[in-house]
């Protein structure tokens, strides 16, 4: 739980420092950390459930490998956060610098004042 809070905090700080929406990026970082852990656990659970039904694995297989599954889920979450933080460390491109300046104004020379 502490690591999820730290992911939200660092995502907020990095987004704020680079001029992005800090609340949105804090939510993205927290959701990524927690969501990937849930998805990895769910994936292993489905795989083990299929193994129990089709290949006759013992019923306590998930309990036997729960520490390994938790470590794999944490590793995937850390890698995803590392990639997110690297993206947030880059300064966003200034769109105004990429555009050409407007053409100079033209005045109608045929009309006189």
Tens-binned pLDDT, residue by residue, of the chain (113 aa): 899 999 999 999 999 999 899 999 999 999 999 999 999 999 999 999 999 999 999 999 989 999 999 999 999 999 999 999 999 998 877 665 667 878 888 877 776 55
pLDDT digits (tens, 9 = 90+) for 31-43: 999 999 999 999 9
Spatial contact of 26 and 15, defined as CB atoms under 8 Å apart: yes
H helices present in the chain, as ranges = 2-17, 22-55, 61-64, 66-89, 95-98
Total-model pTM: 0.76
pLDDT digits (tens, 9 = 90+) for 61-71: 989 999 999 99
Residue 5 dihedral angles phi and psi, to the nearest 5°: -65, -40
Spatial contact of 18 and 89, defined as CB atoms under 8 Å apart: yes
Tell me the domain boundaries of the chain: 2-91
């Amino acid at each position: 739980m502490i690591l999820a809070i730290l992911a939200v905090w660092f995502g907020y700080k990095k987004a704020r420092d680079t001029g992005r929406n800090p609340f949105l990026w804090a939510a993205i970082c927290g959701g990524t950390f927690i969501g990937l852990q849930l998805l990895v656990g769910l994936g292993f659970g489905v795989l083990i459930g299929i193994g129990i039904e089709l290949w006759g694995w013992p019923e306590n297989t998930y309990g036997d490998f729960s520490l390994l599954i938790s470590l794999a889920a944490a590793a995937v979450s850390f890698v995803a956060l590392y990639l997110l933080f690297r993206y947030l460390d880059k300064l966003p491109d200034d769109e105004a610098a990429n555009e050409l300046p407007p053409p100079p104004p033209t005045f109608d020379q045929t009309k006189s004042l």
